[in-house]
Amino acid sequence: DIQMTQSPSSLSASVGDRVTITCQASQDISNYLNWYQQKPGKAPKLLIYDASNLETGVPSRFSGSGSGTDFTFTISSLQPEDIATYYCQQYDNLPRTFGQGTKVEIK
Amino acid sequence: QVQLQESGPGLVKPSETLSLTCTVSGGSISSYYWSWIRQPAGKGLEWIGRIYTSGSTNYNPSLKSRVTMSVDTSKNQFSLKLSSVTAADTAVYYCARDLIAAAGLDAFDIWGQGTMVTVSS
Residue A15, pLDDT above cutoff 80 = yes
Question: Nearest-CA neighbor of B114 among B40, B51, B64, B55?
Answer: B40
Search chain B and give the residue with CA nearest A5: B44
Kindly report the average pLDDT of chain A as a whole number.
97
At residue B56, the pLDDT reads 96
Which pLDDT does position B105 carry in this prediction? 83
Across residues A61-88, what is the average pLDDT? 98
pLDDT at A54 > cutoff 90: yes
* A100/B contact by beta carbon, under 8 A: yes
The count of other CB atoms within 10 Å of the CB of residue B3 is 13
Size of interface A-B (CB pairs under 8 A): 55
Question: Which pLDDT score is estimated for A97?
Answer: 98
| Below-70 pLDDT ranges, chain B | 102-103
CA–CA min distance B72, chain A (Å): 24
| pLDDT at position A53 over 80 | yes
A107: contact with B, CB 8 A cutoff: no
> Would you call A103 an interface residue with chain B, using a CB distance cutoff of 8 Å?
no
User: Contact B46/A98, CB-based, under 8 Å?
Assistant: yes
With the CA atoms of A46, B82, B68 and B113 taken in that order, what torsion angle do they form, in degrees rounded to the nearest 10?
-30
In degrees, to the nearest 5, what angle opens at C-alpha B4 toward C-alphas B3 and B9?
150
Contact B109 A55 (CB under 8 A): yes
CB distance A85 to A96 below 8 Å: no
Dihedral class, residue B109 (left if φ above 0, else alpha if ψ from -120 to 50, else beta): alpha
Give pLDDT, residue B102: 67
Q: Name beta bridge partners: B47.
A: B37
In this complex, the residue of A43, A50, A101 whose CB is nearest that of residue B104 is: A50
